[in-house]
Amino acid sequence: MDRLKPVHGATPHRTLGQRLRRMVYGIGPRLIALLVVASMLTTIGVALLQFRYNELADRQERAIELERIRLAHLDAIALALWNFDEAQLRLQLAVVLQGPYVAAVEVREPSPEGGDGTLRLRLGEADRPGLRVERLPLVHRRNGRDNLLGSLNVLYDEAAMQRNARQRALETVLIQGGIGLLMAMVLLLVVRRTVTRHLSALARAAATFDLADPRTSFRLQRRRRGPGDEIDRVADALETMREGLQRAYRDLERTNAELQADIAARLRAEATAEHLAHHDALTDLPNRRLLFQRITHELAVAERSNTLGALLFIDLDHFKTLNDARGHDAGDEVLVEVAARLRAGLREIDLVARLGGDEFVALLPMLGELRERVALNARMVADKLRTALAEPIVVGEEVHRISASIGVALFPEDGSSAEDLVKHADTAMYQAKAEGRNAVHFFQRDLLLAMEARHALESDLRQAIEEDALDVAYQPLVDLHGRVCGAEALLRWTHPRRGVVPPGQFIPLCEESGLVVAVGDWVLRSVLAQVHDWRASGQLGPEQYISVNISPRQFRQQGFGDRLLAALHETEVPPSALVLEITEGVVLDDIDNAITRMQTLRDHGIRFYIDDFGTGYSSMAYLKRLPADGLKIDRTFIVDLGSDNDDAAIVDAILAMGRHFNLAVVAEGVETAAQADYLRARGCGLLQGYHFGRPVDAAVFAAEHLNTPKPR
Ligand code: C2E
Ligand code: MG
Ligand code: MG
């Protein structure tokens, strides 16, 4: 009976009770009930009226009938009675008996007892109940006088009359009721056909309406003529509403999908950003930030659980050289491979991070509960990582060999914060480097103290440079005849608290930190200014010179030569008045480069002495190639000259080498006349030492060792 186009969604299952309730409360049944009640009430009303009317009509009819009897038969009956005409009397009564509802007719004559009188003749049945008697007096007029002969009694069947009236009323009720019921049924069908089933269908469609299903429809399947009725309009309105809703729903779905995609993209971007924020772009290892977060976490866990862990600070050896020599791309590839090897060599719960450059940190939580055990485990892991890194790394066609210096700090003992712990592992790593690299070193607190002291010294030194608190001392250089032919400039730093700090303590530190470049420049400037003054005043003769110590790093510094030449030019000091003392360390790393640089300066007339000669390699092979002008025999060989034959032999050999390569030879640290005599006897041309003079400040030096100034 469903007149809708396919409506999707199942009709919900209902119990019999529910169905009955729905039926009872439906428009159709209620309409019928209303109709039936209304028609019943009207029918009953009409029947009552009808009944009443019938009664009245019967009564009226009876009155008319009585009148007719009176007019038509009464005189004839009185006459027949008068005449004793029995036949006529009987005939007349028989005619009266024919009247409607007449049950019996009788003639009574007056009796002396009175009452009803005596029965003369009766026709019909008079012994039935419910009879009503109408009395008509029988009078015969004779000679102007009325003679009462008796009465004519007509006995009407009142019960039959009433029955008849009821009967007719009942008929009316039945007919009316039947018609009413029939009309109700027809109406029900019509209402059902035209209204309720469509309403039900619409209700079902609305109940099962699915926003997402485009096949859903509220259009009714009914023959349409004209513009349609209210139900069509409701259906049309619902259909319009459905289209609108589904359009809105589709829009919503589309917007939702776009939004979802947007959110997903945003989440991805956020995840990427989050990842980038916590990972190193090159190796994809966790970065410093993530590492510090994890360390802080693991420190807390270690404190709580009473277990120890280790932090390995891993620094690749000579990575800078590799990077410079083979290019950054190769360097990057090596770093990626190193990262992979480190990662592979650790447990799942360990974390390896890249701090930057060639520095990595491995965090190894929960290695045990006893320090010794944990240290052993940490060393095992460190050695394992070093072994893994030692395997050759092939990049393109090249094979690289990498080693690493590893510093180990145990936690929570070696540091209560992430910063401390990393710093301490870093300190230990530096120690490993100092021990010749490719080694593992554990953090020790006293080492840290030493390092901290060094840091303090370094910052003090920076301040000293800024405040011009450095000084240059001069120590005379004398020739075979004891004449001062020049001096060595030696740096002095008088610390406000520590007093005079010997250069042996702070120069290596300057070298490490790079501060030596600034310090060296300062020394050169102040020496050149001094030389200029001394030469101008004639205190320093044209043949005399000052030798200045140049540290390897300073010498290798880009633009060192140019700056020196510019300074010479500025101070109008001839290059011949300057000797540069360099150590073998300058030449060791890159001999060709060193030779080129030396040669350039020598071409300008600047001389070079190899300082501390004999303590390093001092090989003939490179001495032959070096464009040097002199050698300085290290003080250590001079000290025991008289007693140690080996030292004497070395000094002899150096003197022979100097003669062979035509180099000036200076003996340092000559403290006694015996040493001086020995050296002079063997032809050592230049001598330096406390025996001839200690390093003293410029004014004292000038006063004690230089010419008296020319009067201006
Ligand atoms: P050096 O170049 O070998 O300097 C000679 C050192 O021997 C000086 O120590 C000097 O005071 C000391 N000396 C000289 N004669 C004697 C002696 O008879 N007996 C003893 N026991 N010592 C003597 P100083 O001044 O402490 O310098 C130490 C080192 O510091 C220098 O060794 C040099 O390598 C470095 N240095 C000093 N000044 C500078 C500088 O301006 N620049 C650079 N780069 N290094 C410097
Ligand atoms: Mg020197
Ligand atoms: Mg020396």
Cα gap 368→365, rounded to integer Å:
9
Cα separation of the two ends of the chain: 136
- Read off the pLDDT of each residue in 534-560 and give the average, rounded to a whole number: 94
Measured CA to CA, the distance from residue 615 to residue 609 in angstroms comes to 14
User: Average pLDDT of the chain?
Assistant: 89
Q: Are the C-beta atoms of residues 430 and 448 closer than 8 Å to each other?
A: no
Whether ligand 1 lies within 6 angstroms of the CB of 65 is answered as no
Whose CA is closest to atom 29 on ligand 1? Answer: 504
Residues 149-177: pLDDT tens digits?
A: 899 999 988 888 888 888 888 888 888 88
Nearest alpha carbon, ligand 1 atom 4:
490
Can you give the pLDDT at residue 1?
38
8-state DSSP, 286: B
- C-alpha atoms less than 13 angstroms from C-alpha of 215 in its C-beta half-sphere: 5
Q: Which stretch of 15-19, 569-573, 696-700 has the lowest confidence by average pLDDT?
A: 15-19
pLDDT for position 514: 83
- Answering whether pTM is above 0.85, one says no
Smallest-distance ligand from the CA of 613:
3
CA separation for the pair 45, 39 (Å, rounded): 10
From the CA of 551, the nearest ligand is: 1
Which of 4-13, 22-31, 439-448, 678-687 holds the top average pLDDT? 678-687
Residue 10: is its pLDDT beyond 70?
Answer: no
pLDDT of residue 458: 83
Report the range of poorest mean pLDDT among 62-71, 358-367, 439-448, 590-599: 439-448
pLDDT > 90 fraction of the chain, expressed in percent and rounded:
51
Top mutation candidate among 474, 608, 635, 686 for ligand 1, by most atoms within 8 Å of CB: 635
Dihedral through CA 383, CA 388, CA 389, CA 395, nearest 10? 180
Enumerate residues with CB within 5 Å of ligand 2 (an ion): 549, 581, 611
CA of 612 from ligand 3 middle (Å) equals 4
Distance 515 CA to ligand 3 centre (A): 21
7 pLDDT exceeds 50? no
- Residue 277 Cα to ligand 3 midpoint, Å, equals 52
Q: What pLDDT does residue 55 have?
A: 81
**What element of type H or E holds 494?**
strand 484-495
One-letter identity of residue 573: V
Question: pLDDT category, 588, cuts 50, 70, 90?
Answer: confident
**Atom of ligand 1 minimally distant from the CA of 472:** 41
Given a cut of 60, whether residue 3 has pLDDT beyond it is no
Ligand 1 pocket member 511 (CB < 6 A):
no
What are 608-661's pLDDT values in tens digits? 999 998 887 767 777 788 899 999 999 999 998 878 888 899 999 999 999 999
Q: Whose CA is nearest to atom 21 of ligand 1?
A: 669
Residue 8, pLDDT > 70, answer no
Picking from 174, 133, 208, the residue whose alpha carbon sits closest to that of residue 46 is 174
Weakest-pLDDT range from 55-64, 132-141, 585-594: 585-594
pLDDT for the residue 12? 61
- The Å distance, Cα 584 to ligand 2 centre, comes to 12
With cut-offs at 50, 70 and 90, classify the pLDDT of residue 231: confident
Angle at 585 (CA atoms; ends 642, 641), nearest 5 degrees: 0
Q: Which residues does 493 contact at the CB level (< 8 Å), separation at least 6? A: 461, 464, 469, 470, 471, 500, 501, 503, 506
What single DSSP character describes residue 192? I
What pLDDT is attached to residue 218? Answer: 82
Answer whether 707's CB lies under 8 Å from 484's CB.
Answer: no
**pLDDT attached to residue 391:** 94
Question: Ligand 2 center to residue 580 CA distance, Å?
Answer: 9
Residue 57, exposed/middle/buried by CB under 10 A (0-12, 13-18, 19+)? exposed
Give 211's pLDDT tier (boundaries 50, 70, 90). confident
Q: Is 671 in the pocket of ligand 1 (CB under 6 A)?
A: yes
**CB distance 229 to ligand 1 below 6 Å:** no
Distances from the Cα of 446 to the Cα of 256, 282, 361, 422, angstroms = 65, 36, 22, 17
Name the closest ligand to CA 585: 1
Residue 550 has pLDDT above 90, yes or no: yes
Residues 130-144: tens digit of each pLDDT = 898 989 999 988 888
Which among 346, 358, 360, 351 is positioned nearest to 290, based on CA atoms? Answer: 351
**3-state SS of 248-276?**
HHHHHHHHHHHHHHHHHHHHHHHHHHHHH
Per CATH, the homologous superfamily of domain 458-705 is: EAL domain (3.20.20.450)
CA atoms within 13 A on the CB side of 249: 12
Q: Whose CA is nearest to atom 7 of ligand 1?
A: 669
Q: What is the pLDDT of residue 536?
A: 95
Q: Are 250 and 42 in contact (CB under 8 A)?
A: no
Q: What is the pLDDT of residue 6?
A: 41
Q: How far is the CA of 668 from the centre of ligand 3 (A)?
A: 7
- How far, in Å, from the CA of 481 to the mean position of ligand 1? 23
**Residues across the chain:** 712
Helix (H, G, I), strand (E, B) or coil at 10: coil
The DSSP string of 439-455 is -EEE--HHHHHHHHHHH
The residue whose CA has the least distance to atom 17 of ligand 1 is: 669
pLDDT grade for 4, boundaries at 50, 70 and 90: very low
State residue 535's pLDDT score: 96
Residue 212 or 439, more confident = 439
pLDDT (average), residues 665-680: 95
At residue 223 the predicted structure's pLDDT band, cuts being 50, 70 and 90, is low
pLDDT in tens, 273-329: 999 999 999 999 999 999 999 999 999 999 999 999 999 999 999 898 888 888 889
Residue 388 and residue 375 in contact, taking contact as beta carbons nearer than 8 Å: no
Ligand 3 ion: Cβ-proximal residues, 5 Å cutoff? 611-612, 668
At 9, the pLDDT band (50, 70, 90 cuts) reads very low
> Please, what's the largest Cα pairwise distance for the chain?
227
Which ligand is located closest to the Cα atom of residue 632?
Answer: 3
- Mapping DSSP onto H, E and C, the string for 287-311 reads CHHHHHHHHHHHHHHHHHHCCEEEE
Cβ partners under 8 Å of residue 341, min gap 6: 385, 388, 389, 391
SS3 465: helix
Q: Are 576 and 545 in contact (CB under 8 A)?
A: yes
Q: Is the CB of 172 under 6 A from ligand 1?
A: no
Confidence band for 341, pLDDT divided at 50, 70 and 90: very high
Residue 62, pLDDT > 60, answer yes
Rounded Cα–Cα distance for residues 626 and 580 (Å): 14
Sequential DSSP letters for 364-425: EEEEESSHHHHHHHHHHHHHHHHHHHHS-EEETTEEE---EEEEEEEETTT-SSHHHHHHHH
Q: What atom of ligand 1 comes closest to residue 550's alpha carbon? A: 44
Residue of 501 and 317 predicted with greater confidence = 317
Per the CATH hierarchy, to which homologous superfamily does domain 288-443 belong?
Answer: Reverse transcriptase/Diguanylate cyclase domain (3.30.70.270)
